[in-house]
Chain A
Amino acid sequence: MPFIELEALCYQREDWQLKAAFSLERGECLAVIGPSGAGKSTLLSLIAGFERLISGSIRINGRDYTTAEPADRPVTSLFQEHNLFAHLSVKKNVGLGRHPGLRLNQKDHLAIDQALEAVGLSGYHHRLPESLSGGERQRVALARCLCREHPLMLLDEPFAALDPALRSEMRGLIHQLIKSHDLTVIMVSHHPDEAAEIASSGIFLHQGELKAKGVMSDLLNNPQLPLLRAYLGVS
């Protein structure tokens, strides 16, 4: 049984529609590519539960989450921005992944320390987000994702605002965390080549429809679909 099963998802906003269906194995890393307005972020919002489906179902690890509240889903997200509460310290920001009211026990404190260590930010506990660089902020958010111990991580272009070198460093970190924490990842990317470094498979969205799904290297190096060829700029 696949780890994630999205069956006949259908979402509508005014006259725009999103339709998709696919499944994913545990430990897989899937890249979502496509032009802007294709519905990449909406797809993640649906899985996270920020938006409601018209029809279709979402099953994760054999359980149905179609109508579950975002907080009740075994999902953790990393957004492009506003991942941290600007007025709370690094430790509190990470701690909110353990308890929404920051009632933390010994185990939680340990988990926070380990997560911060995993993203290379030990000793940053009492810093405020404003004193961190863009890359460090996203690492703190990543630490909170780890703390939540949810198996499915959704990345909505969290590194888009970073410099190329930093982006590559963060990809390396994600790649390593996927292995060490047994994560399943769905990531939206505007840079298919970069996504291919960590994603084994990919899907291509166009105007709200899933047009292609396959192994990432096949999609990029040998695109059959004219729409995908046009998107990638392959003649």
Chain B
Amino acid sequence: MDQRVASLHESLTGRSQLRVPGWLPGGLSLLVISLILFASLSALFFNAQLASLTTTLFDPYLLRVLRFTLWQASLSTLLSVLLAIPVARALARRTTFRGRSVLLLLLGLPVATPVIVVIFGIVEIYGNNGTLNHLIRLFGFSFQVNLYGLTGILIAHLFFNMPLAVRMLLPAWNQIPDESWRLASQLGMKSGSLFKLIEWPVLRRVLPGSAGIIFLLCFASFAIVLVLGGGPRATTIEVAIYQALRFDFEPSKAALLALIQLVICTLTVALLHHWLRALPLSSGLATTSQNRPDLNQPGSRLIDFGIILVATTFVALPLLALLRAGLTGPVLSVISDQSLWSAALNSLMIAIAAAGIAFSLGMALLTTSRYLRFHRKQPNRSELLELSGSLTLVVPPMVIATGLFSLLLPFGFVFDWGLVLVAMINGLMVLPYVIRLVGPALLANGEHYHHLCSELGIRGWHQFKLIDWPIIRHPAAFSMGLCATLSFGDLGVVALFGTHDAMTLPLLLYHRIGAYQFEAASVTALILALLCLVVFRVIDLLIGGRRALH
């Protein structure tokens, strides 16, 4: 009787709250992700006509595409990682020079810059009429650099992935204890043996994971290959899928290609699973100052700053070229063009929707993952649920898109719903960023406060509002800004679903480059890049508050 009176009293005074079971948010999120994947993959299997698999598999065209895809991805990965090691080492050795933080910011820029914009900058520098060939001619040489083909693909992949590799490798130096350096100076070790005996062992732990991620990114690279590949000689699976769907109208071929893509990505992740998990979560790039004995070795300063200068120039050049080309182009006529702004509006809506989708799915997954870890004491399931948010690493967006495309094609409204599908798939694509950026803060909150919260009965909305949100607000704002920016500038699945009525800004830029309207394209590229920055800043500021301005 006592208990019933008490609970009646609680409900009358508003002290009881609807209890949502802890597994529900993540469960729903997982259901949505699985449904999309299931619908897409089953459409692929249905369409791929597996009966003729053996004959198609040995189709020379397919084999050539497959071989080139693997070749360019391996080469890009190897170059990115090999070149990143000396850059990361130089930055790890020089921890206190002026402008280091600006430089690190610059190295972080490629992640958020739209691929199509960078491609434009690269063409400005390395293209047939670009700065580099201009200089070569100026010095009287007769050869010229031909950008289109493997060269262009490698340069662009290096632009994006060398800085990424630096960012992934740099935290490894923080794992070297100070004692190691002190010991090394007592033993009189030189730079070479320092690398071999102290630095290489910690690097070796993060190298496979970093290389794996870069391989996956290059393997599934679309826009770069589409624009810089320059024809059927240099086509990857993703581009072949696009051509099969949009030009050859062969959904079954596209489906087969998508399945091959899926198998290789899955194999890569399965192979590297161990190392991918061990990859450090830290997003910070501050390296602790180290008392290493080789800082004043003759010439070491020169070598370090030389390497840093070359790396910086390589990243900065295309961006500067873009700025110059954009500012000297027909700015007025481009910005007074109605189609630019309607495309920008479409992009903005996709960006906001994708960021919203990614954040909702991500928060739901993380909340339940935390519940499983701390309340149910099931760390394995918790981790598995968190991993499900990164499924798009295994199943590239283009594969999902191909499945949904062939699923919806018979109903005839693929293009009416194109932008909605693009937003949805982009949301899944950027979901891993939410998980990785917000996850650690939310888990740390759980670790510190889960007993306190459960004893005080703080759960659901109250827990989100009072306990979690104040802590995750900044990483959440940052991740949503990043998600929106990435979707805003993405030229991937939108190429499949986009039409003249459903144009996005990156697609418009691609069309202008394709139509050789380079002057208009240069202004469009600059506007796209600037709008990306604006979208990021505004979202970071709106959600993260004023303090988010770092």
Q: Does A79 lie within 8 Å of B2, measured CB to CB?
A: no
Question: In this assembly, does B454 line the interface, its C-beta being within 8 Å of a C-beta of chain A?
Answer: yes
| Bitwise interface map of B from 454 to 467 toward A, beta carbon under 8 Å scored 1, else 0 | 11111101100111
Q: Does A50 lie within 8 Å of B458, measured CB to CB?
A: no
Question: In this assembly, does A71 line the interface, its C-beta being within 8 Å of a C-beta of chain B?
Answer: yes
Q: Does B17 lie within 8 Å of A82, measured CB to CB?
A: no
Q: Does A77 lie within 8 Å of B466, measured CB to CB?
A: no
Closest chain B residue, CB of each to CB of A83 = B452
| Bitwise interface map of B from 1 to 45 toward A, beta carbon under 8 Å scored 1, else 0 | 011000000000011010000000000000000000000000000
Q: Does B466 lie within 8 Å of A102, measured CB to CB?
A: yes
Q: Does A96 lie within 8 Å of B448, measured CB to CB?
A: no
Q: Does A100 lie within 8 Å of B462, measured CB to CB?
A: yes
For B466, give its contact among A63, A72, A79, A101 (CB under 8 Å).
A101
Q: Does A96 lie within 8 Å of B454, measured CB to CB?
A: no
The minimal Cβ–Cβ distance linking B547 to chain A, given in whole angstroms, is 13
Which residues of the other chain, A, contact B466 by a CB distance below 8 angstroms?
A: 85, 88, 92, 96, 101-102
With contacts A85-B467, A88-B466 known, is A97 near B451, CB below 8 A? no
With contacts A63-B2, A99-B15 known, is A82 near B456, CB below 8 A? no
Interface size class of B (residues with CB under 8 A): 20 to 34
Q: Does B3 lie within 8 Å of A48, measured CB to CB?
A: no
For A71, give its contact among B2, B448, B456 (CB under 8 Å).
B456
* Alpha-carbon separation in the docked complex, A88 to B471 (Å): 11
Question: In this assembly, does B449 line the interface, its C-beta being within 8 Å of a C-beta of chain A?
Answer: yes
Which residues of the other chain, B, contact A49 by a CB distance below 8 angstroms?
A: 454-455
Closest chain B residue, CB of each to CB of A48 = B455
Closest chain A residue, CB of each to CB of B15 = A99
The minimal Cβ–Cβ distance linking B490 to chain A, given in whole angstroms, is 35
Question: In this assembly, does B60 line the interface, its C-beta being within 8 Å of a C-beta of chain A?
Answer: no
For B3, give its contact among A63, A85, A88 (CB under 8 Å).
A63
Question: In this assembly, does A188 line the interface, its C-beta being within 8 Å of a C-beta of chain B?
Answer: no
* Alpha-carbon separation in the docked complex, A77 to B452 (Å): 8
* Alpha-carbon separation in the docked complex, A85 to B469 (Å): 12
Q: Does B471 lie within 8 Å of A87, measured CB to CB?
A: yes
Q: Does A82 lie within 8 Å of B449, measured CB to CB?
A: yes
* Alpha-carbon separation in the docked complex, A101 to B454 (Å): 13
Q: Does A71 lie within 8 Å of B471, measured CB to CB?
A: no
Q: Does B459 lie within 8 Å of A50, measured CB to CB?
A: no
Q: Does B451 lie within 8 Å of A50, measured CB to CB?
A: yes
* Alpha-carbon separation in the docked complex, A50 to B374 (Å): 10
Question: In this assembly, does B284 line the interface, its C-beta being within 8 Å of a C-beta of chain A?
Answer: no
Among A50, A69, A70, A72, the most chain B Cβ lie within 10 Å of the Cβ of: A70
Question: In this assembly, does A76 line the interface, its C-beta being within 8 Å of a C-beta of chain B?
Answer: yes
Question: In this assembly, does B192 line the interface, its C-beta being within 8 Å of a C-beta of chain A?
Answer: no
Residues of B453-487 whose CB lies within 8 A of A? 454-459, 461-462, 465-467, 470-471
Which residues of the other chain, B, contact A126 by a CB distance below 8 angstroms?
A: none
Q: Does A69 lie within 8 Å of B454, measured CB to CB?
A: yes
Q: Does A76 lie within 8 Å of B458, measured CB to CB?
A: no
Question: In this assembly, does A179 line the interface, its C-beta being within 8 Å of a C-beta of chain B?
Answer: no
For A100, give its contact among B3, B449, B458 (CB under 8 Å).
B458
Closest chain A residue, CB of each to CB of B451 = A50
* Alpha-carbon separation in the docked complex, A88 to B459 (Å): 16
Q: Does B14 lie within 8 Å of A71, measured CB to CB?
A: no
* Alpha-carbon separation in the docked complex, A50 to B377 (Å): 11
With contacts A63-B3, A87-B470, A87-B471 known, is A100 near B451, CB below 8 A? no
Which residues of the other chain, A, contact B17 by a CB distance below 8 angstroms?
A: 100-101
Which residues of the other chain, A, contact B465 by a CB distance below 8 angstroms?
A: 101
Q: Does B452 lie within 8 Å of A79, measured CB to CB?
A: yes
Residues of A181-203 whose CB lies within 8 A of B? none
Among A82, A87, A100, the most chain B Cβ lie within 10 Å of the Cβ of: A100
Q: Does B3 lie within 8 Å of A71, measured CB to CB?
A: no
Which residues of the other chain, A, contact B14 by a CB distance below 8 angstroms?
A: 103
The minimal Cβ–Cβ distance linking A15 to chain B, given in whole angstroms, is 15
The minimal Cβ–Cβ distance linking B473 to chain A, given in whole angstroms, is 10
The minimal Cβ–Cβ distance linking B456 to chain A, given in whole angstroms, is 5
Question: In this assembly, does A75 line the interface, its C-beta being within 8 Å of a C-beta of chain B?
Answer: yes
Among A50, A63, A85, the most chain B Cβ lie within 10 Å of the Cβ of: A85
Q: Does A97 lie within 8 Å of B2, measured CB to CB?
A: no
The minimal Cβ–Cβ distance linking B318 to chain A, given in whole angstroms, is 42
Q: Does B455 lie within 8 Å of A71, measured CB to CB?
A: yes
Closest chain B residue, CB of each to CB of A51 = B377
For B456, give its contact among A45, A50, A100, A103 (CB under 8 Å).
A100
The minimal Cβ–Cβ distance linking A86 to chain B, given in whole angstroms, is 8
Q: Does B471 lie within 8 Å of A96, measured CB to CB?
A: no
Which residues of the other chain, A, contact B455 by a CB distance below 8 angstroms?
A: 48-50, 70-71, 75-77
Which residues of the other chain, A, contact B451 by a CB distance below 8 angstroms?
A: 45, 48, 50, 70, 77, 79
* Alpha-carbon separation in the docked complex, A85 to B449 (Å): 8
Which residues of the other chain, A, contact B457 by a CB distance below 8 angstroms?
A: 69-72, 100
Which residues of the other chain, B, contact A101 by a CB distance below 8 angstroms?
A: 17, 458, 461-462, 465-466
| Bitwise interface map of A from 101 to 125 toward B, beta carbon under 8 Å scored 1, else 0 | 1110000000000000000000000
* Alpha-carbon separation in the docked complex, A103 to B17 (Å): 12
* Alpha-carbon separation in the docked complex, A75 to B455 (Å): 8
* Alpha-carbon separation in the docked complex, A69 to B10 (Å): 15
Which residues of the other chain, B, contact A148 by a CB distance below 8 angstroms?
A: 456
| Bitwise interface map of B from 63 to 103 toward A, beta carbon under 8 Å scored 1, else 0 | 00000000000000000000000000000000000000000
A binding-site residues for B, Cβ under 8 Å: 45, 48-50, 63, 69-72, 75-77, 79, 82-83, 85, 87-88, 92, 96-97, 99-103, 148
Known: A70-B454, A85-B467, A148-B456. 14 other contacts (CB 8 A): A48-B455, A71-B456, A71-B457, A76-B455, A77-B451, A83-B452, A96-B456, A97-B456, A100-B17, A100-B457, A101-B461, A101-B462, A102-B466, A103-B14
Q: Would you give 11 A-B contacts (Cβ < 8 Å), ordered by A? A: A49-B454, A71-B454, A75-B455, A76-B455, A82-B449, A87-B471, A88-B466, A92-B466, A101-B466, A102-B466, A103-B14
B binding-site residues for A, Cβ under 8 Å: 2-3, 14-15, 17, 448-449, 451-452, 454-459, 461-462, 465-467, 470-471
